[in-house]
Structure 1
Amino acid sequence: MIPVERILEEMERHLRAARSTGDPAAQRESLAAIRALSDAALGSRTQSRMPEVKPVPLAAPAETPGIPPAPPKREEDGANGDSIFDF
C-alpha cells in the first residue's frame, strides 16, 4: 500500500502544475491525476470498511388485475396449439 503522505505529495505537485500552466488541456490532465490519486487514497480505506452486498432475488410477477387469465389450451389429435388454423 502506498503511504498517504506520498499520495498527498503527488497531489500537491499536480496542483502546482495546474496552477502554473495556462493551457486548459494541461490543467484538465493535472486535475484528472489529482482525482485518480484521491480515489486511490480513499479506495484503499473504504474497501475494507464496506460490507459485502448480496443480490436479492426478485419475486415472481403477480397477475395483473383486470386481465383474465388465458383459457386452457385445447389439445386434440392433429391440432398444433393456439393457431387460428386449428380445426
Structure 2
Amino acid sequence: MKRIVLALTLCAAPAMADVVGPGGKVQDCYCTDKSGTRVELGELICMQVDGRMFMAQCQMSLNVPMWREVQEGCLSSGLRQNLAPDLGTNSSSSAS
C-alpha cells in the first residue's frame, strides 16, 4: 500500500510544477529586466547591481520567477576600430 501511494505521489509531482492561477488557468511565468522587457525562463542577461556586473539567469524558485547569478562578470564583444585610413590599398593608382 505504501508503494502505491509513493508511486502516485511521484507521478503527480510534474503536474504540480505548473503555476495555476484563479479558475485553474496555468500562468505564464517570466522575468523582467530593468526596463520592464520580458525575459523568458532560462534566458541569460548581464545585470549591473550596486556597481557589480554579472550574468544572471531567469529561474523559478517556489513558483516565483527570480534572477540567479550564474557567473561573475559579463560576456562582451568588442571590435577594434581602425581610426587611421589605410593609404596603401588604393587600387586606382597605377605603378609604371
TM-score w.r.t. length of structure 2: 0.26
Higher strand share: 2
Structure with the higher fraction of residues in helix conformation? 1
Normalised by the length of structure 1, the TM-score is 0.28
* Bigger radius of gyration among the two: 1
